[in-house]
Amino acid sequence: MDAMHADLLVIGFGKGGKTLAAALGRQGKRVVMVEQSELMYGGTCINIGCVPTKALIHRASGRPDDADPREWFADSVAWTANLTSFLRGNNFRMLDSLDSVTVVTGTAAFLDEKRVEVTAGDGRLEITADTIVINTGAVNAIPDIPGLRESTRLLTGTDLIVSPDLPKRVAVIGGGYQGIEFAAMLARYDVRTTVLEKGSRILSREDDDVAAEATTILQDEGVTFLTGAHITSVSDGTVHFVVDGVAQTLEVDAVLSAAGRVPNTAGLRLSEAGVRTTSHGAVEVDEHLRSSRPHIFAIGDVNGGPQFTYISLDDYRIVLDQITGSGRRSTSDRVAVPYTLFMTPPLARVGLTEAEARAIGRPVKVAAKSVAATAAMPRARIVDEVRGLMKFVIDASTDEILGAALLSVDSQELINTVALAMHTGTTATTLRDAIYTHPSTTEGFNEVLATIVR
């Protein structure tokens, strides 16, 4: 077995890990980056996550009325593959161009707390490192439904975005963020899409009024929802389920498992290193992202935190501060982390929902208005997208913005302004009375925040 030593070993080419590897490599530290597949240089986001899914959503919105949806989808998959290949190459070169950084392609597993074995075919490499960062991300969860794993009709999101063959009828398992985003995309390619959700409604983490508005928009796009659906089995193209005690079936060409993603720790042999994991398989970390072995960190989706690329980037900042800085930065510094569900229009949210704020006893006032009724937001009419609503949850005593849900055109950008306002303590009144460009979507804040509905 060949052997090498590094100051820093990073397992997994995701956002936080590659940024950390590059930062320390530029400082002259000896860095080794291990990635299991050359098709994953750059990590989940650019290869099988954010970039390709959003590219396909964008391409769906641009389909001409006279374009065959299946041909358009195949062209979109090819276009997206070219995009991800370009980004993947850039990411590889970012590290490969640094003299002190070595990229190793192979499967990593711990031998002990200091040694990691990397295998590729018949080749074996033993790497020792002073600091090790686990950055292996997450993998698609497959629910424990009889027949599902064995079904030839089973698809994951990863499968869907790389195949040019578009199914005509798809059952989507899960009415959470992942399931709804894929359902919205499929419907825009004229796929007969049915979402099966075991709960009483989709988007269970959102307020009732926000979820209801999203449901209406998606139904208008052609998505069918079966809520309260308990799936009993999957056999070939038939999904068997029960609603209100009544057994039913659904015939489809594909079953898309969209029940979330789970930390990718299988095969790492973490027990050999004495690294503890949670009941969900995530690497257990403290507020500085150190595992049960202080020199081993875990960043990104693998540590069980919010599964967002920008959280992985902030993980990098925390670990870099631990290695080369003051060591004060931690996960407790995070305030008002926003996120976006890329349906059309997008649903972006930050902070507390109304239900959450009331549940913890905050004195709440709500400012909300539909986009169609908001006169001071002409951009929505200019781009012909007046569906949705804006909702702010405000502390009635302090005027503090507790949270916001923006279901509107451009909401993926607007939510960052709200998050920054929350982070800096900017009040709802200040956000309401700010001067915004025209015509823009942001100027809708002037009108919406002036409307206290309850």
pLDDT one digit per residue (tens) for the chain, 454 residues: 699 999 999 999 999 999 999 999 999 999 999 999 999 999 999 999 999 999 999 999 889 989 999 999 999 999 999 999 999 999 999 999 999 999 999 999 999 999 999 999 999 999 999 999 999 999 999 999 999 999 999 999 999 999 999 999 999 999 999 999 999 999 999 999 999 999 999 999 999 999 999 999 999 999 999 999 999 999 989 999 999 999 999 999 999 999 999 999 999 999 999 999 999 999 999 999 999 999 999 999 999 999 999 999 999 999 999 999 999 999 999 999 999 999 999 999 999 999 999 999 999 999 999 999 999 999 999 999 999 999 999 999 999 999 999 999 999 999 999 999 999 999 999 999 999 999 999 999 999 999 987 7
Q: Any long-range contacts for 353-359 (C-beta under 8 Å, 24+ apart)?
A: 353/205, 353/206, 353/207, 353/210, 353/393, 353/403, 353/405, 354/207, 354/391, 354/393, 354/403, 355/207, 355/208, 356/403, 357/393, 357/395, 357/402, 357/403
Angstrom distance (rounded) from CA 360 to CA 369? 24
Contact 420, 401 (CB under 8 A): no
Q: Tell which phi-psi region holds residue 12, choosing left (phi > 0), alpha (psi between -120 and 50) or beta.
A: left
**pLDDT of amino acid 139:** 95
C-alpha to C-alpha distances, 416 to 324, 369, 401, 404, 449, nearest whole angstrom: 29, 19, 13, 11, 17
248/231 Cα distance (integer angstroms)? 9
CA distance 271 to 275: 6
pLDDT of residue 216: 98
Q: Name the residue among 47, 73, 45, 49 with its Cα closest to residue 61.
A: 73
- Three-class DSSP category at 21: helix
DSSP symbols for 75-121: HHHHHHHHHHHHHHHHHHHHHHTSTTEEEEESEEEESSSSEEEEEET
Structure confidence at residue 236 (pLDDT): 86
Between CA 190 and CA 68 the distance in angstroms is 9
Q: Residue 221's closest CA among 312, 344, 395, 366?
A: 344
CB 304 within 8 A of CB 263: yes
C-alpha–C-alpha distance, residues 399 and 370, integer Å: 22
Q: Which two tokens stand for residue 355?
A: 């239900």
Residue whose structure tokens are 């007046």: 386
The pLDDT value recorded for residue 302 is: 98
- Do the Cβ atoms of 405 and 207 come closer than 8 Å? yes
What count of other Cβ atoms lies within 10 Å of the Cβ of residue 136? 29
Residue 310 token pair = 């920008």
Scanning the structure block, which residue is given the tokens 């095969």? 267
5 is catalytic: no
Q: Which two tokens stand for residue 238?
A: 């038939």
Cα–Cα–Cα angle for 268, 273, 277, nearest 5°?
65
Q: Specify whether the CB–CB gap between 406 and 390 falls below 8 A.
A: yes
Tokens 């490969």 -> residue: 96
Question: If you write DSSP's letter for every residue of 136-148 in order, what string do you get?
Answer: --EEE-----TTT
**pLDDT reported for residue 1:** 61
Q: Answer yes or no: are the C-beta atoms of 129 and 30 closer than 8 Å.
A: no
Domains belonging to the chain, first-starting first, are: 2-140+262-333 (3.50.50.60), 154-259 (3.50.50.60), 339-448 (3.30.390.30)
Mutual angle of helices 15-26 and 309-324, in 10-degree steps: 30
Cis-peptide into 378, omega within 30 deg:
no
